[in-house]
């Protein structure tokens, strides 16, 4: 297996990520698990990378891969921006959206139009 990973690393990553991405989707489509579990497929590429790092570099490979994730190359201000801006954008969208198209909201006909 290690020889295959060394010879075709990108192909192995793609195939493993594809299989891991489909793994939660198939039982959810069959009704065996709740559909919310299909979102675990979003972690498939990361998990595939960790698995291939373990195959390729044994324990040291995974440790180095995870250690590099903790290296900060930007300042704290940028980290706060990246973490807080999507939340701010979501809140602003939730406030503005009913003002722009109140009829599109469920139950809008029975409620008075918001004052904007």
Number of structural domains, the chain? Answer: 2
* pLDDT at 115 (0 to 100): 60
User: Does residue 59 share a domain with residue 90?
Assistant: no
3-state helix, strand, coil in the chain (%, to 5): 75, 0, 25
pLDDT category of residue 114 using cuts at 50, 70 and 90: low
The answer on pLDDT for 108 being more than 60 is no
Where does residue 52 rank: exposed (0-12), middle (13-18), buried (19+ CB within 10 A)?
A: buried
Average the pLDDT over 70-80 and give the result. 85
Q: Using alpha carbons, select from 54, 63, 71 the residue that is nearest to residue 13.
A: 54
Report which DSSP code applies to 75: -
User: Does residue 33 share a domain with residue 89?
Assistant: no
User: Does residue 8 share a domain with residue 35?
Assistant: yes
User: Does residue 65 share a domain with residue 106?
Assistant: no
User: Does residue 53 share a domain with residue 22?
Assistant: yes
User: What is the SS3 assignment for 7?
Assistant: helix
List the domain range (segments joined by +) for residue 113: 73-116
User: Does residue 66 share a domain with residue 77?
Assistant: no
User: Does residue 46 share a domain with residue 103?
Assistant: no
Within 10 angstroms of residue 22's Cβ, the number of other Cβ atoms is 13
């Amino acid at each position: 297996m290690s020889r295959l990973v060394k010879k075709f690393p990108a192909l192995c990553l793609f195939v493993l990520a594809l299989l891991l991405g489909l793994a939660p989707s198939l039982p959810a489509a069959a009704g065996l698990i709740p559909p919310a579990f299909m979102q675990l497929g979003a972690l498939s590429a990361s998990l595939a990378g960790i698995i291939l790092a373990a195959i390729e570099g044994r324990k040291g490979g995974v440790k180095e891969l995870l250690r590099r994730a903790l290296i900060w190359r930007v300042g704290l201000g940028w980290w706060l921006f990246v973490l807080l801006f999507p939340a701010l954008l979501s809140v602003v969208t939730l406030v503005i959206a009913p003002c722009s198209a109140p009829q599109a909201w469920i139950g809008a006909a029975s409620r008075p139009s918001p004052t904007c």
